[in-house]
Chain A
Amino acid sequence: MRQMSWFNVTSLTLGFVFLYLPMVILIIFSFNESKLVTVWAGFSTKWYGELINNRAFLDAAWVTLKVAFISSTLATVLGTMAAIVMVRAGRFRGRTLFSGMIYAPMVMPEVITGLSLLLLFISLGMDRGVFTIVLAHTTFSMCYVSVVVSSRLVSFDQSLEEAALDLGCTPVEAFRLVTLPIIAPAVISGWLLAFTLSLDDLVIASFTSGPSATTLPMKIWSSVRLGVSPEINALSTIMILVVTIGVVTASLINKRNVVRQRRDEAAAAKSA
């Protein structure tokens, strides 16, 4: 291995400064005493206090969490099913259309997805609110789940499943006892991905929600349009913190699983 050249060190340093500096500034200024967001006037946590007393934000946060939880769970079930169909079902009629429908929502501009779902809900005469946002979020995030899960399904040894079937398992048992534990890390990261996609979505939620339901991004959007505010900085800081803890925990769990799996495999190889 060669020494890292000064060029590589510089480009990495500058790159990560570019990626992280805006968020660091935002976090620092969420502790600013002054209402003027660009002038530092001393340390204070008062904006966090105001945030906790702001009912509109709390309500929106509750709606967002509810939507994210239900839609990511539904999306995980549907996306895992879709992944199994893509990898294991072999040929069936309409397979091309099916794989097209899995990939297309990921590259579709959000404005189009949002508009089309809204027009569907209206023509069905559905009341718009939490339920319609859940349907919309489930639809686009199940595609991400199925891509994550199918990459795991492709890589694992199908003969394990066949062995379980030969030893008298029913297909459902084989799935529950053999396949599911193996693909579980992918299913969990699919769920996390769906959850954050839903938490984050502004455009599709704006189209598909009604007056009864406002999500946090929609609330942030309407206040951000008026300019930068210390309250939004405080809210952003909380959200950045939650995501960071989540991602770091997930990657630690994943790492531990990989280590344990390697150890088990090594033990199995020794005893054989």
Chain B
Amino acid sequence: MRRLLIAIPYVWLLALFIVPFLIVFKISLSDTAIAIPPYTPTLDISAGLGAIREFFAALDWENYIWLTEDDLYWKAYLSSLKIALISTFLTLLVGYPIAYGMARAPEEWRAMLFIMVILPFWTSFLIRVYAWMGILSQEGYLNQFLLSIGVISEPLVILNTNIAVYIGIVYTYLPFMILPIYAALEKLDISLLEAAEDLGCSRFSAFWLITVPLSKQGIIAGSFLVFIPTIGEFVIPSLLGGSRTLMIGKVLWEEFFSNRDWPVASAVAVVLLLILIIPIVLFQRNEQKQREAGR
């Protein structure tokens, strides 16, 4: 009984999560071929031991060498990291005051505010990104508005630039930043701030000396929750970014669907995974520490 309970989800995840990665890794070592499937060698176990040995001999690191030689790829990795870093910072800048306002709101409002932050998270990601296309385009609502009040005389070009990508990321990932910070701020004891003010601290320095350090855990968790998925983001750069917006998720997609180069797409995926392991492990360690501190 107990064994079966463990075995069913275990085997499912092994077969549909671990095994696929091994296959990706294997194909990243193969060569592109004009065939179905479009790579070589393919393993044929029925052909005997000699064929298996030949199969392993045909695998090499060629695709990885290719990734270092063509500057498209490392530029895409670097640019993804840069975009993820900047947009995480912007999300923190936008999210912190909202979380702060929520934590300071009257208690009977908080449940409602909480649902209002969660609700957009449940609505389709694609639709939320799409909504910005109409706002940011050349004849879009933002330009119409700014032109009508006379702030600008020429429409601004925002859609299909990196600025649109930043706006899209901040908008879609904002709940991930707000919720952990709100959780940290809600626990904060207000009498600490009152004590600081009584002792002569200005409100501003009380904020920097007490509120920010005590909400550090929330800031760290929120930043990881935005940073990690943003690196591999595909939908936002494709819809809001331009041809010059370089992000590795988009490169992988195009390598696979447009160029049909499966081995290179697999190698891109493996390297992306290696890059992501660092922030993921740091995030897990941070969560662990928090859980232990909570006990």
Contact = CB atoms under 8 A, between A and B. Distances in A.
Contacts of B269: 111-112, 115-116
B13 A139 contact: yes
B284 A103 contact: yes
A251 B131 contact: no
Contacts of A142: 9, 12
Given A12-B98, A19-B117, A107-B276, A228 B232 contact: no
A1 interface: yes
A104 B13 CA distance: 11
Interface of B is mostly: helix
Contact of A81 (B8, B19, B120, B122): B8
Contacts, number: 220
Contacts of B20: 116-117, 119-120
A247 B118 contact: yes
Contacts of B229: 107, 109
A112 B14 contact: no
Interface stretch (B46-54, B139-147, B214-222): B139-147
A263 B86 CA distance: 49
Contacts of A7: 97, 101
Interface stretch (A45-53, A54-62, A156-164, A219-227): A219-227
Nearest to B230: A109
B130 A78 contact: no
B187 interface: no
Interface size class of B (residues with CB under 8 A): 35 or more
A23 interface: yes
Contacts of B104: 2, 4-5, 8
Interface size class of A (residues with CB under 8 A): 35 or more
Interface stretch (B55-63, B70-78, B249-257): B249-257
Contacts of A116: 20-21, 23-24, 269
Contact of A38 (B23, B141, B231): B141
Given A8-B101, A8-B105, A119 B262 contact: yes
A135 B115 CA distance: 31
A147 to B, nearest CB: 12
B260 interface: no
A227 B133 contact: yes
Contact of B23 (A5, A23, A119, A217): A119
B122 A120 contact: no
A84 B9 CA distance: 11
Contacts of A188: none
Interface string B14-55: 101111110110010000000001000000000000000000
List the 5 closest pairs (A to B, CB-CB), nearest first: A109-B232, A116-B20, A11-B97, A15-B98, A22-B131
Interface of A: 1-2, 4-5, 7-9, 11-12, 15-16, 18-20, 22-23, 25-26, 29, 37-38, 78-79, 81-82, 84-85, 89, 92, 94, 98, 101-105, 107, 109-112, 115-117, 119-120, 122-123, 135-136, 138-139, 142, 146, 171, 196, 199-200, 202-203, 207, 217, 220-221, 224-225, 227-228, 232-233, 236, 239-240, 243-244, 246-248, 251
